[in-house]
């Protein structure tokens, strides 16, 4: 059994990490920290875990973590992780960080996208940005891992085959990502904008331009394409609790045909259990839809093409808290520890939800 701790585990991502880790056959969950709820039973904050665990939250303590855990997940807010991880990394603990603080390789990008000078630029190179379907071998055996943003991973998985494997030219400077996300993507801290009367029934454009996830999407896609990729992203809050749909638009000067696009997707995701290609001619769910992945670590990807304009529409759907966060992080942990990639994650999605 691997001993695992979760730092800052009272939020939605922390709660989802706890839920999945408690059911993982090769994990012993030993520590769950929360500054706000230290001393409280975990199930009082995450009521779905009543009867599943009698663990209580503890204060963050580096000594306790190194004593009781072999690997820790850090679910601290952006800008907070970077204050704790440099010391934690020195202990030799394996770390999977859920924040944005170690996702970007170029330190100067933190100033432009997050508004601060990164205090540990050397550490950025040591972290592996982990999407197993993209860089499985790099994740395997890594000690320090940074887990992607939920909209980033969903759009990257939808777009990657077209940037890496396609046999037709893509305009790499004009890629548009239109993302719709449920309310849990905003985290567990309430505000006026998440108040039920204000949030219910919205289709709210909350970041039509300059979304921070653009930086990590560009970083990964540029690496795959072998040239600089520019992504224009717009995000919308919609009337779901969980789920993301990314509708991505690419333009080609050629006229890509369905068969060659199919081949690009098959070639990229052959052997990747958690990515399903959905482009069906039957039934109501013919293309990816978040409704069909809720409760699972699956990312459904699909596409459509428009010969008249040279446009290819690439779609990705995930449960934002699982493949968009905790599930992908645990999948990465499995690789880091040499376990079966599916361990603790092999759940079929819920239906109907």
Partner 1 sequence: MNTKCAECDGPINVPNDVIVGEIVSCRDCGVEYEVSEIRGGVALLKPAETVEEDWGE
* Active site amino acids: 150
CA angle in degrees (0–180, nearest 5) for 81-334-327: 65
Give the residue ranges of DSSP H helices in 171-257: 196-199, 213-225
The residue among 130 and 275 lying less far from partner 1, judged by its C-beta, is 275
Least spacing, CB of residue 346 vs partner 1, in Å: 21
Residue 91: partners with Cβ closer than 8 Å, 6 or more residues away: 62, 65, 66
CA angle in degrees (0–180, nearest 5) for 61-139-181: 80
The residue among 192 and 259 lying less far from partner 1, judged by its C-beta, is 259
**266 binds partner 1, rule: CB under 8 A:** yes
Options 178-186, 208-216, 281-289, 315-323: segment touching partner 1 (CB under 8 A): 281-289
CA angle in degrees (0–180, nearest 5) for 317-150-62: 145
What is the total count of residues that contact partner 1 (CB under 8 A)? 11
Peptide bond before residue 352 is cis, with ω within 30 degrees of 0: yes
Q: Which of 25, 51, 283, 352 forms a contact with partner 1 (CB under 8 A)?
A: 283
Least spacing, CB of residue 26 vs partner 1, in Å: 32
CA angle in degrees (0–180, nearest 5) for 237-238-239: 140
Q: Which of residues 71-90 bind partner 1 (CB under 8 A)?
A: none
The residue among 271 and 283 lying less far from partner 1, judged by its C-beta, is 283
Q: Which of 87, 281, 308, 352 forms a contact with partner 1 (CB under 8 A)?
A: 281
Name the residue among 254, 271, 240 with its Cα closest to residue 312. Answer: 254
Least spacing, CB of residue 143 vs partner 1, in Å: 38
The residue among 263 and 311 lying less far from partner 1, judged by its C-beta, is 263
Residues lying near partner 1 in the complex (CB under 8 A) are found at 258-259, 262-263, 266, 277, 279-283
């Amino acid at each position: 059994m691997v001993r695992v701790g979760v730092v800052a585990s009272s939020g939605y991502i922390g709660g989802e990490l706890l839920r999945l880790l408690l059911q993982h056959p090769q994990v012993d969950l030993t520590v769950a920290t929360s500054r706000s709820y230290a001393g409280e039973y975990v199930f009082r904050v995450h009521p779905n875990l009543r009867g599943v665990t009698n663990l209580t939250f503890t204060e963050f303590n580096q000594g306790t973590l190194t004593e009781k855990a072999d690997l820790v997940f850090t679910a601290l807010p952006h800008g907070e992780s970077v204050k704790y991880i440099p010391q934690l990394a020195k202990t030799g603990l394996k770390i999977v960080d859920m924040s944005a603080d170690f996702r970007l390789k170029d330190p100067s990008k933190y100033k432009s996208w997050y508004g601060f000078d990164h205090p540990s630029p050397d550490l950025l190179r040591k972290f592996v940005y982990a999407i197993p379907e993209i860089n499985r071998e790099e994740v395997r055996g890594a000690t320090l891992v940074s887990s992607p943003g939920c909209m980033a991973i969903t759009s990257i998985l939808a777009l990657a085959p077209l940037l890496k494997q396609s046999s037709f030219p893509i305009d790499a400077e004009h890629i548009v990502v239109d993302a719709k996300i449920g309310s849990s993507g905003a985290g567990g801290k309430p505000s006026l904008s998440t108040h039920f009367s204000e949030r219910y029934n919205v289709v709210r454009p909350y970041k039509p331009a300059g979304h921070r996830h653009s930086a990590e999407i560009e970083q990964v896609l540029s690496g795959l394409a072998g040239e600089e990729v520019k992504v224009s992203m717009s995000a919308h809050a919609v009337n779901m609790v969980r789920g993301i749909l990314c509708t991505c638009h690419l333009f080609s000067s050629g006229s890509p045909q369905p068969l060659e696009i199919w081949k690009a997707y098959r070639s990229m995701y052959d052997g990747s259990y958690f990515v399903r290609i959905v482009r069906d001619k039957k039934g109501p769910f013919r293309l990816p839809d978040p409704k069909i992945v809720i409760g699972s670590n699956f990312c459904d990807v699909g596409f459509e093409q428009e010969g008249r304009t040279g446009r290819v529409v690439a779609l990705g759907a995930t449960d934002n808290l699982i493949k968009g966060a905790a599930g992908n992080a645990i999948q990465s942990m499995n690789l880091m520890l040499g376990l079966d990639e599916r361990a603790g994650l092999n759940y079929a999605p819920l239906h109907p939800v």
